[in-house]
């Protein structure tokens, strides 16, 4: 049986309880004995008292008998009779008592009984004798007694009885005393043994529990300090043994884990130390925590001196730019590396490519930066570019001559060509063209794959793309007597893509399909929507793709049959290029084939309907002004749209800066809300870019960003000071009232038709401008400075469109009339747009609302700028009135 | 509007010069001054007063852009529109040429049969 601590404790409890019970029993017995003794004493006292009473009554009886015997007087007989009566009572009592009296008393009592009986008989005989015979007989009777008188013997017997009792008392008292002493010592012994055993138990506990527990605790502490081999001697068979065993098991497991961890850490450390890439850990404050040797080499510094320094110190980029790059990279789900420039001591710079990853170290955020010196790659890139460029040049130059000559000859520029000669020259021309295509394709694929080619992404209608492709390839089909057919051309879907590149893909697929179709066959281009994507399918009626070729059909220079390819005039690069282009569009390409025909299909993500707003919506009469929401978080974007709708505005959503640019190009927006943190571009740089473009140059912008306040402070009004400022900076979470108020200010349009004064001496321009603007404003024209001055003195205008070079002076002379009090009907400033053939000096452009250069300005841009100006003019007045009211 | 008539053509490849003459003189009916390189152009071109300059980019000694920059210093060529013709068609190269103020960059090999029409439409766009 296991002798557990629980059982040990129970045993201890049982011992203590039984000891207490023992003491209780002893006390009980002691108490009982005590009471017994007291009773015995009382009985003994009663007995002795009875004996005394007996003696007294005996004396009374003798005295009164003797009195009668001597005197014969009857008077003594009454007390004598009483005394005898009492004696009999006493004897009865004594006889009763003697039953419980001390041993030996009964025999003595018997003697007393016998003697008392004799005595009473003798006394009664003598009384009778006296009465009958008189005194002398009685006296003789007294003399006739034995040598020792009966009375004496009786008294002796009684005394013996009393003495016996007393002796008994003495003995019992003594015995009681000794018994009491025994009980007392018994209690002491018990208490003493409890104490001793308790102490022993405590010692035992200390020994078996406390000490073992302490040992366990010490072992645990040492283990915690890293002594992984620490184990505890198990010993015993109780809970502590269990605990010790568990501890040992845990220690074993932990030790294994710890060793694995240590091994991994060693591994990581080894990687960190030996990695060819530089690794840098940077804490939340931008301070370097650790640098590996490769990084130290890349930075050209001592790793120890870099630790604790600000990481930004070692990069050539401005701190703000650096933070932006870090933010962008961290937010990039694809973790594409970013290019940065390292600053070495002495001023040398090294281009690096850096990937960053946020992680936790000791519960604090750190960023692990992995950087790679790309000097060599850049150099190789440069070399490759030069090589490609040179090869392309060297190949194209002779081809230019060959091609040009052939074209001119075949074009009959040098005279009529004989049919046979023409046939030969056509072969030469076809092959030179093929060579050109090959070079173009090689360059193309190199550009697309290296990511060097910038795709011109725009919102495109799927149906339009397909129709253009069909039209472009119809001629080619006719050469092979193959018809082209468009299926699903009524699809109402938009994609975001590069039109030319998609045409290239479709031309590749369609021309392939045409080439491999039987004469008189039909190639189908089918459009369909699959989930969030749009699918293009090109279906031919050819003989299918041979199985051995299917696996590498998208490879470069993949040709089912080399001779076949040449025969069909392909370069073997078309599908490879198509695949690259589709993938750059975020789509996929594939094929299915059977002896009855082949279907090449590619899918492109569909542009959500919300972002693909029809242009007409912005000019439709009933809809509210249209606002573009540029926000990548769809929840926030939808919230903004909801808020704006409540405020009476229509809103479209652009999720990226590039999408916003496309939408701004294609629709007229009254204003734009802008998030500063966008996946593809920083908001501020987008604003700067929009300013430089005609579509965005006059667009009121409301910044809605979590960084609004700080970025606004950072820029210190820099962007607000431009021709068209940012209307407001709104911090997230968004205050709807403020948002609507800002948009309202930005899009305010006066109720009446604005009046524009156009000062211009060229009548043609006046006419054109009037046509452009007559829908939005009432146009008043002045052809000379004098006329303009006179008009300005009499009337006020919402906007002045001003040419500078006028027949009778410079239009700039009008500016003082418009600013301040002298000319204007009101005290406020009338907006002015300089519309001149010359670029404005910068100081003058600042004084006016906008400066447009004639040759660079389209009618639409002019019209848009003016519309904005009018609205802003209204807005300025509104604010002004509100301020003075 | 003045029609495109006189073209200054600078090109080092004799074969291409021949093709170009055939295309522009025979086919397009333009008046062509052909120069073999930049130095030749600086020497021969003054006084020709071209409507348009058609310049090859890669030439030994003085390349196309440098030739144009040099010619631009002369009043006669200061505002003459330039069309570059090049076999280097990588986008960054084309962009660089556009930055130099070229109204168009024609890539080699060009279509000799349609080149005259192309130059005419460029001219119309530029002057119109």
Q: Are residues A330 and A476 in the same domain?
A: no
**CATH number, domain with residue A367:** 3.30.450.20
Q: How many CB atoms lie within 10 A of CB A98?
A: 21
Last residue in a domain, options A418, A448, A478: A448
- Taking alpha carbons only, the member of B33, B94, B106, B41 closest to residue B69 is B41
How remote is the C-alpha of A119 from its chain's centroid? 122
Number of domains observed in the structure of chain A: 6
Cis before A705? omega within 30 = no
Do residues A459 and A589 both lie within one domain?
Answer: yes
User: Is B108 touching A (CB cutoff 8 A)?
Assistant: yes
Query: A547 and A467, same structural domain?
Result: yes
Query: Given a cut of 80, is residue B127 above it in pLDDT?
Result: yes
- Would you state the pLDDT for residue A482? 92
Residues A69 and A187 in one domain: yes
Residue pair A534/A464 in contact (Cβ under 8 Å)? The answer is: no
Give first-to-last CA distance, chain B, whole Å.
8
The pLDDT of residue A879 is 29
What does the pLDDT read at residue A612? 41
Q: Return the number of CB contacts < 8 Å for A and B.
A: 84
Q: Of the candidates B13, B90, B110, which has its C-beta nearest A389's C-beta? A: B90
* Same structural domain, A89 and A164: yes
Edge-to-edge strand order for the sheet containing A483-487? A483-487, A522-530, A533-539, A597-605, A588-594
Q: Which of B23, B27, B91 sits opposite A454 (nearest CB)?
A: B91
Work out the minimum CA distance from B109 to partner chain A, whole angstroms: 4
d(CA B67, CA B45): 11
Grade residue B25 by pLDDT with cuts at 50, 70 and 90.
very high
Looking at A354, A373, A392, the residue that finishes a domain is: A373
Rg (C-alpha) for chain B, rounded Å, is 13
Interface check A117 vs B, CB under 8 A: no
> Taking CB atoms and an 8 Å limit, are A452 and B92 in contact across chains?
yes
Q: Complex ipTM, two decimals? A: 0.71
| A692 vs B: CB within 8 A | no
Q: What are phi and psi of A231, to 5 degrees?
A: -135, 165
β-pairing, A338-343 with A349-361? antiparallel
Residue A847's CATH number: 3.40.50.2300
Task: Indicate if A176 and A68 belong to the same structural domain.
Answer: yes
C-alpha span between A850 and A855 (Å, rounded): 15
Q: How far is B49 from chain A (nearest CA, A)?
A: 24
- pLDDT given at position A272: 87
Structural domain contains residue A222: no
CB contact under 8 A, B113 and A408: yes
Range of the domain at A417: 378-448
Any domain includes A32 = yes
* Residue A650 and residue A687 share a domain: yes
Give the phi and the psi of residue A535 in degrees, each rounded to 5.
-110, 135
Residues whose CB falls within 8 Å of the CB of residue A765, separated by 6 or more in sequence, listed in order: A803, A854
For residue A154, the model assigns a pLDDT of: 86
Report the CATH number that the domain containing residue A86 is assigned in CATH.
Answer: 1.20.120.1730
Q: Calculate how close chain A gets to B119, using CA atoms only, in Å.
A: 16
Q: Distance from A661 to chain B by nearest Cα, in Å?
A: 21
C-alpha angle A729-A731-A734 in degrees, rounded to nearest 5 = 110
Chain A residues in contact with B15 by the CB 8 A cut-off are: 398, 401, 405
The answer on A155 and A27 residing in a single domain is yes
Note whether A760 and A687 are same-domain residues: no
Residues A648 and A685 in one domain: yes
Phi-psi region of A412 (alpha: psi -120 to 50; beta: other; left: phi over 0): left
Cβ atoms of residues A154 and A112 within 8 Å: yes
- Tell me, yes or no, whether A318 lies in a domain: yes
A451 touches chain B (CB under 8 A): no
Best mutation target among A382, A387, A401, A431 (most B Cβ atoms within 10 Å) is A401
Say if A288 falls within a structural domain: yes
CA gap A408, B25 in Å, rounded: 12
Enumerate residues 6+ apart whose C-beta is below 8 A from B77.
B45, B50, B53, B71
Same domain, yes or no, for A295 and A392? Answer: no
Which of A605, A629, A655 is at the close of a domain? A605
- B19 with A400: Cβ contact below 8 A: yes
Tell me which residue of A558, A455, A548, A467 sits closest to A512, measured CA to CA: A558
The sign one gets for the Cα dihedral A469, A474, A476, A477 is positive
The answer to whether residue A297 sits within a structural domain is: yes
| Per-residue pLDDT, A704 | 82
Q: Is residue A806 part of a domain?
A: yes
Q: Give how far B54 is from chain A: nearest CA, Å.
A: 15
Closest chain B residue to the Cα of A443, Cα to Cα: B90
Quick check: is A265 in a domain? no
Residue A860 pLDDT: 66
Domains present along chain B, CATH in parentheses: 6-127 (3.40.50.2300)
Neighbours of A779 (CB within 10 A): 17
Q: Report if residue A207 sits inside a domain.
A: no
Residues A382 and A353 in one domain: no
Regions in chain A scoring below 70 on pLDDT? 1, 144-148, 333-334, 450-454, 558-570, 609-624, 694-698, 709-710, 712-727, 731-733, 745-753, 819-830, 836-864, 866-885
For residue A885, the model assigns a pLDDT of: 26
Residues in chain B: 128
Question: Among A665, A635, A638, which Cα is nearest to A651's?
Answer: A638
């Amino acid at each position: 049986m296991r002798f557990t601590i629980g059982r040990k404790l129970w045993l201890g409890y049982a011992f203590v309880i039984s000891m207490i019970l023992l003491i209780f029993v002893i006390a009980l017995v002691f108490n009982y004995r005590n009471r017994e003794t007291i009773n015995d004493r009382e009985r003994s006292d009663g007995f002795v008292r009875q004996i005394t009473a007996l003696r007294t009554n005996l004396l009374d009886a003798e005295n009164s008998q003797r009195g009668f015997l001597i005197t014969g007087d009857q008077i003594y007989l009454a007390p004598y009779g009483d005394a005898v009566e009492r004696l009999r009572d006493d004897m009865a009592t004594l006889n009763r008592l003697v039953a419980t009296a001390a041993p030996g008393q009964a025999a003595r009592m018997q003697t007393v009984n016998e003697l008392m009986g004799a005595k009473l008989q003798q006394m009664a005989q003598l009384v009778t004798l006296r009465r009958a015979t008189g005194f002398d007989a009685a006296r003789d009777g007294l003399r006739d007694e034995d040598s020792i008188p009966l009375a004496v013997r009786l008294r002796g017997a009684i005394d013996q009885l009393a003495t016996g009792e007393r002796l008994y008392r003495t003995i019992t008292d003594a015995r009681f005393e000794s018994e009491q002493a025994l009980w007392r010592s018994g209690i002491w012994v018990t208490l003493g043994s409890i104490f001793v055993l308790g102490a022993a138990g405590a010692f035992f506990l200390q020994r078996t529990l406390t000490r073992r527990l302490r040992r366990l605790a010490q072992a645990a502490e040492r283990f915690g300090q890293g002594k992984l081999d620490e184990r505890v001697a198990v010993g015993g068979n109780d809970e502590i043994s269990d605990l010790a065993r568990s501890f040992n098991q845990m220690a074993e497991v932990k030790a294994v884990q710890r060793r694995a961890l240590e091994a991994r850490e060693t591994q990581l450390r080894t990687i960190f130390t030996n990695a060819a890439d530089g690794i840098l850990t940077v804490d939340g404050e931008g301070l370097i925590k650790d640098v590996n040797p490769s990084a130290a080499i890349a930075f050209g510094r001592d790793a120890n001196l870099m630790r604790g320094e600000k990481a930004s110190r070692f990069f050539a980029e401005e701190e703000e730019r650096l933070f932006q790059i870090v933010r962008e990279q961290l937010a990039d789900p694809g973790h594409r590396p970013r290019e940065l420039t390292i600053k070495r001591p002495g001023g040398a710079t090294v281009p690096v490519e850096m990937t960053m990853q946020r992680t936790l170290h000791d519960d604090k955020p750190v960023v692990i930066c992995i950087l790679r010196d790309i000097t060599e790659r850049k150099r190789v890139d440069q070399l490759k570019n030069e090589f490609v460029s040179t090869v392309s040049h060297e190949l194209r130059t002779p081809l230019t001559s060959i091609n040009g000559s052939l074209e001119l000859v075949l074009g009959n520029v040098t005279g009529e060509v004989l049919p046979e000669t023409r046939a030969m020259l056509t072969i030469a021309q076809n092959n030179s063209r093929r060579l050109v295509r090959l070079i173009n394709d090689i360059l193309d694929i190199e550009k697309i794959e290296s990511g060097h080619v910038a795709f011109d992404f725009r919102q495109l209608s799927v149906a339009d793309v397909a129709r253009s492709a069909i039209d472009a390839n119809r001629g080619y089909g006719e050469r092979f007597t193959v018809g082209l057919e468009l299926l699903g051309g009524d699809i109402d879907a938009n994609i975001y893509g590069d039109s030319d590149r998609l045409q290239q893909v479709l031309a590749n697929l369609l021309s392939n399909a045409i080439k491999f179709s039987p004469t008189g066959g039909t190639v189908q281009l089918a459009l369909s929507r699959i989930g969030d994507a749009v699918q293009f399918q090109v279906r031919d009626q050819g003989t299918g793709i041979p199985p051995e070729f299917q696996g590498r059909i998208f490879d470069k220079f993949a040709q089912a049959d080399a001779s076949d390819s040449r025969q069909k005039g392909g370069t073997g690069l078309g599908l490879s290029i198509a695949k690259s282009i589709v993938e750059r569009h975020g789509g996929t390409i594939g094929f299915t084939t059977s002896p009855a025909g082949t279907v090449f299909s590619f899918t492109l993500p569909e542009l959500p309907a919300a972002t693909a707003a029809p242009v007409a919506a912005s000019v439709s009469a009933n809809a509210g002004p249209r606002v573009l929401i540029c926000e990548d978080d769809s929840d926030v974007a939808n919230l903004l749209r909801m808020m704006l709708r409540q405020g009476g505005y229509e809103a479209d959503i652009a999720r990226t800066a590039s999408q916003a640019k496309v939408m701004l190009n294609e629709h007229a927006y009254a204003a734009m809300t802008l998030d500063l943190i966008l996946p593809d571009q920083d908001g501020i740089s987008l604003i700067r870019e929009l300013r430089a473009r005609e579509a965005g140059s006059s667009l009121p912008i409301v910044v809605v960003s979590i960084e609004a306040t700080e970025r606004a402070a950072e820029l210190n009004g820099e962007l607000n000071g431009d021709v068209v400022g940012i209307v407001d900076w709104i911090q997230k979470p968004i205050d709807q009232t403020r948002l609507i108020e800002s948009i309202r200010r930005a899009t305010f349009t006066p109720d009446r038709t604005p009046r524009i004064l156009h000062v211009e001496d060229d009548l043609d321009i006046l006419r054109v401008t009037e046509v452009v603007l007559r829908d939005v404003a009432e146009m008043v024209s002045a052809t000379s400075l004098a006329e303009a001055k006179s008009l300005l003195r009499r009337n006020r205008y919402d906007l002045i469109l001003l040419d500078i070079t006028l027949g009778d002076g410079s239009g700039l002379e009008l500016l003082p009339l418009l600013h301040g009090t002298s000319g204007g009907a009101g005290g406020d400033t009338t907006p002015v747009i300089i519309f001149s053939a010359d670029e404005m000096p910068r100081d003058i452009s600042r004084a006016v609302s906008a400066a447009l250069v004639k040759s660079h300005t389209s009618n639409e841009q002019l019209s848009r700028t003016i519309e904005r100006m009018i609205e802003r003019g209204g807005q300025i007045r509104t604010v002004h009135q509100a301020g003075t009211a | 509007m003045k029609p495109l008539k006189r073209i200054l053509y600078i090109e080092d490849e004799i074969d291409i010069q021949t093709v170009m003459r055939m295309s522009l003189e025979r086919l397009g009916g333009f008046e062509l001054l052909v120069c073999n390189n930049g130095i030749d152009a600086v020497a021969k071109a003054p006084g020709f007063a071209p409507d348009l300059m058609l310049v090859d980019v890669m030439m030994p000694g003085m390349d196309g852009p440098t030739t144009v920059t040099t010619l631009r210093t002369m009043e006669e060529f200061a505002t003459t529109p330039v069309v570059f013709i090049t076999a280097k068609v990588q986008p960054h190269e084309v962009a660089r040429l556009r930055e130099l103020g070229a109204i168009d960059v024609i890539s080699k090999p060009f279509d000799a049969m349609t080149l005259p029409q192309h130059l005419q439409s460029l001219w119309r766009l530029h002057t119109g």
